[in-house]
Amino acid sequence: MRVLIIEDEPTAAQKLTDMLLKTDSEITVLDTIQSVEEAVHWLRTNTTPDLAFVDVQLADDVSFEIFNHVEVQFPIIFTTAYDQYILEALEHNSIDYLLKPLQEDRLQKALEKVRKLESHFVQYKFNKLFEESMGKNKSSKKRLLVKRGIDYVSVSIKNIAYFFTEHKLVFLMSKSSEKYIIDKTLTELEEELDPEYFFRANRKYLVHIDAIEKFKSDSGKVLLQLHPPTREEVCVSKENAPNFRYWIETF
């Protein structure tokens, strides 16, 4: 689970981080944000987290102001020393409201609530994805420009097996095992390409559905076998596994 912490007290942020990692070793704390301004910038320029812990009172304003500038598409657990903000918190995807000082048993219960609601958020995400894809199919890109040496080559979308990152570069691997450099990030490609055919397996791989020869479950994660073969294991995380299964069954 990818977690963002929005908290202006460094000691409180560190305590929450320690409690989260102790509760669930598979949690990744993406970042710790201290102000409304910083949070708005982070949310506009980074991938959406799976969950955010948000302190109500931040250094420059109340945290509710964040959500006047960015769309909330993830569950939120508010943390505060005050209880008068509960009703307002419920208006911003809040699934729990933890009073400081945080207690480990309350934190565990809040995380259990997130996991129980996970299927709801997955279904919402893919319903929206499906609706968007219906509008995209007719206008999706047909070809991409890639580099081969000093030249540029046009590659048909139909001939793409997957994209991957290596040494801070993004590569396109074709179905015929040709490898090209492409001047786009995986996030940019994910936004441009038809979600019916392409899935973001992890931070390093964006794969075409036809490139998946087979897959298997491994402790909640999903291991993909791609063609052409990869030099490293391509794994879909436990948190993203329900999304993958829904995608591959639906499309």
| Tens-digit pLDDT profile for residues 234-248 | 999 988 888 898 899
Q: Span 67-83, mean pLDDT?
A: 82
CATH class of 140-250: mainly beta
Percentage, residues of the chain above pLDDT 90:
48
Strand arrangement, sheet containing 51-55: 28-33, 2-6, 51-55, 76-80, 94-99
Structure confidence at residue 131 (pLDDT):
53
pLDDT in tens, 97-155: 888 888 899 898 888 888 777 655 555 454 555 455 444 444 467 899 998 887 889 99
- Return the CATH fold of 2-133: Rossmann fold (3.40.50)
Model confidence band, residue 160 (pLDDT cutoffs 50, 70, 90): very high
User: pLDDT per residue over 211-223, tens digit each?
Assistant: 999 999 988 899 9
The mean pLDDT value for 205-232 works out to 94
Residue 146: what pLDDT? Answer: 93
Would you say 17 and 32 are in contact if contact means Cβ atoms under 8 Å apart?
A: yes
Residue 6 scores a pLDDT above 50:
yes
Instruction: Give me the pLDDT at residue 71, please.
Output: 81
Predicted pLDDT of residue 7:
93
pLDDT recorded at residue 83: 65
Determine the pLDDT at residue 136.
Answer: 47
User: Nearest to residue 9, comparing CAs of 59, 44, 83?
Assistant: 59
Mean pLDDT, the chain, as a whole number? 85
Beta strands in 76-232 (DSSP E): 76-80, 94-99, 143-148, 151-156, 160-166, 169-174, 179-181, 198-200, 205-208, 212-218, 221-226
Domain ranges (residues) in the chain: 2-133, 140-250
Contacts of 63 (CB under 8 A, 6+ apart): 6, 36, 39, 54, 55, 56, 57, 78
- When pLDDT is averaged across residues 18-30 and rounded to a whole number, the result is 89
pTM (global) more than 0.75: no
